[in-house]
Amino acid sequence: MLAVNSEVYTSLAATLGVAVVFAGLIRLFTRRWNGPLMIGVNLAVIGCAYMLYFFRDPERLTPDDPTLVFAGADGKIMAIKEVVEDKHLHTNAVRISIFLSLMDVHVNRAPIQGRVTFENYFPGERYFTFLEKSSEFNQHSEIVIENARTKVLVNQIVGPIARRVVYWVKRGQRVQAGERIGMMKFGSRLDMYIPADDVKDILVQPGQAVTAGETVLVSLKPRDAEPPNQASLAELVEKATDETVTPLTETNAVGKQAP
């Protein structure tokens, strides 16, 4: 049976409303109901079927391993970069960006177990999310999850055709790795920031399909390990990005679904 997230109801109502209005407008021009009624019914059936598919919410089994950081979204790895994250992590970080097509599951999941120490939504621009500046300037939410080993910043980023993003966690709440934390309603990018000093290895590459709550992105250092120097972090990022891949765009990613 197809599991569907409860966020679907508003979109179903909107789809039905559009179908009724569209059929009514056609009726004004044709002065008959047979054609407009058929068009409206077909539009409603196709639209609602897609909404049920888009809002699907399958169960996921996430391993209980505190040394691993899991994907927070279904999609494809768009980029892996070393950046300075001075707002929440206050250190060098590995940023892993996941691009979501309109065919991917859009429910987001916690990448690690821990406590939510920050959550908020920020207005901004609606640049295409394959652009680097979308990470900084687009509308987005910020969620920080922290435990004794590390903390991860998760940004749900709104693209040009996105309606909005929602999150279901509150500050102080404890979550398990793989637990549902929010949803991107036609959004298209999720950025995850992991402190560089906590990263042992990066286990994905750009262009790779990932599954939220199941695909391992990063393995973490043992607690008593020495922090890696800057050169070693650069080597990890270079290793993860050394294969030539086709850059993702808003157009060539649509229709590609993570297995």
Question: Active-site residues: which are they?
Answer: 188
Closest CA to 98 of 81, 115, 118: 81
Q: Please give the C-alpha separations between residue 183 and each of 57, 109, 168, 179, in angstroms, as whole numbers.
A: 10, 9, 8, 12
Q: State the amino acid at position 59 in one-letter form.
A: E
CA–CA separation, 146 vs 245, rounded Å?
32
Query: How many residues appear in the chain?
Result: 259
The answer to whether the CB of 99 falls within 8 A of the CB of 76 is yes
The answer to whether the CB of 52 falls within 8 A of the CB of 8 is yes
Phi, psi of 239 (to 5 degrees): -65, -40
Supply 41's token pair. 């019914």
